[in-house]
Amino acid sequence: MSLIVASTTSTSTAVNSQLHRHSVGGEPQRKSYSVEDFEMGEQIGEGAYSRVVISTFKPTGKKYALKIIKKQLILKENKTKTVKMEKQVLNMMDHDNIIKLFCTFQDANHLYFALELAPGGELYSYIKNYGPFSLEASQFYTAEIVNAMEYMHTLGIIHRDLKPENIILSKDMHVKITDFGTAKIQKAEEEEVMVGDSPLKSKKGTFCGTVQYVSPEILKDEECNEGADLWALGCIIYQLLTAAHPFKADSEYLIFQKILKREFEYPPEFPYVARDLVDKLIQLDATQRLGVGSDGYKQLKAHPFFEGIDFSNLKNQTPPSIVPFANLDSLEIEDKQDEFDELNPFIVEKLNEKYSLFLLKNESVVYTRKVVKRRKLTAKKRQLILTDFPRLMYIDFDARVCKGFIPLSKSVKLVKKSDKDMIIKTPGRDYIIEDVKGCVDKWIYWIEKILAEKLTDKN
């Protein structure tokens, strides 16, 4: 079907595109989809001309990340080429480490991309919040990125904006590369195939990518091939191990100058085997970067940095723990809950270990905080724990005793009195709760979420 902007206003324009369904994940085959097929949930991302919400596909109950794009904005900002390119390359690919496109559809004002949901969050969030990765974790995540890059490049797809923000993690913490809006299809572009408003040329074009990861040839407006992604890979490895960019300066111009001169330094603790790999990726001459050429990826995977890595079996392996999580004490791990909008597997694992005495078989902690539970003239300090059973229990952790449960049902009402105070109203009684860290909004969010998900068919 044609992608048409409604013609009822003076700004309306036809956008020449075909949004064909691309089924993944065993969903039923359909001729077309509409917004009515999806139940909208919370917003998890927002860009200049789009936003992303968690949505549920009604026929199966499966959750997707639904990207909602405003037609008028993409026309105004001349982004139709970006949207078309993203759809085109996603339709070409099917790989465990690349985000999958379920379907696309539209209404009068919006375009919709239903994408695979990766609730682990951005790789960048882990670097930002927890600092450098261990060498083991850096090796594993780099290896999964390399697997995805090899697949893309075999198809002639150059990402051109690889960075930790565009690498998201699945529920079980495996890599999913996303955001292909600035991608280039190398073989097609050699023939200057139209993919948007104008041809994407193979040798000359506008600047694309992100400042800290952009390669010298892109800065110099020269021919761009898979070497641009390999340069970015070198920058990502450096960032995984240092939590910093290799090229740092006070302005974009100065960063560009450092890139063009290949001017950066390694901290003393930087592993030698990783330094050797980064040196071979961050080469000014794109043809000399490790990974370029007919057997480039064979050579790249053979580098000593990947010693012990089984590239063919990564998807079946449990990713290494990100060390900072392992080093956090119990109080810190609870404080880290609020840095993520979705359940974080590492945090959940740590909380489940801490409160295992109070959990049923296969029950998992959703949210927990120290609270003051008030009743009449008494005030008791307790650990309040919400689980996915769902149960809401209050315990004396020091005494290792469960003191009681707040019954959860559809009849429960949550009343926010302040950032620290709330009332949980149940049919039997009201529970007055003070969250000592002022996280009442988070409590309401998680309790409402778990009730909606778990008590649909219950009382």
Mean pLDDT along residues 308-326: 83
115 phi and psi angles, rounded to 5 deg: -110, 155
Residue type, 446: W
Do the first three CATH levels of 2-116 and 121-323 match, i.e. the same topology?
no
Specify the pLDDT at position 199: 32
Q: From the candidates 37, 161, 419, 441, give the one annotated as an active-site residue.
A: 161
Higher pLDDT, 31 or 291: 291
Residue ranges for the binding site for ATP?
Answer: 76
Specify the pLDDT at position 436: 86
Active site residue 161: yes
Q: Which long-range contacts (CB under 8 A, 24 or more apart) does 267-275 make?
A: 267/242, 270/241, 270/242, 271/135, 271/241, 273/304, 273/305, 273/307, 274/135, 274/138, 274/237, 274/241, 274/305
Residue ranges for the binding site?
Answer: 76
Question: Dihedral, CA atoms, 283, 285, 290, 294, nearest 10 degrees?
Answer: 170
Percent of the chain with pLDDT over 90: 64
For the cut 60, the answer to whether the pLDDT of residue 200 exceeds it is no
CATH architecture of 328-454: Roll (2.30)
For the cut 50, the answer to whether the pLDDT of residue 323 exceeds it is no
Q: Is the pTM of this model over 0.75?
A: no
- In the chain, where the domains are located: 2-116, 121-323, 328-454
For the cut 90, the answer to whether the pLDDT of residue 344 exceeds it is no
For the cut 50, the answer to whether the pLDDT of residue 14 exceeds it is no
pLDDT digits (tens, 9 = 90+) for 77-113: 888 988 999 999 999 999 999 999 999 999 999 999 9
pLDDT digits (tens, 9 = 90+) for 129-179: 778 999 999 999 999 999 999 999 999 999 999 999 999 999 889 999 999
Write the CATH number of the domain with boundaries 2-116.
Answer: 3.30.200.20
Specify the pLDDT at position 19: 40
pLDDT digits (tens, 9 = 90+) for 346-384: 788 888 888 999 999 889 999 999 999 998 888 999 999
Specify the pLDDT at position 341: 61
Q: Is residue 343 very low, low, confident or very high in pLDDT (cuts 50, 70, 90)?
A: confident
Q: Name the superfamily (CATH) of residues 121-323.
A: Transferase(Phosphotransferase) domain 1 (1.10.510.10)
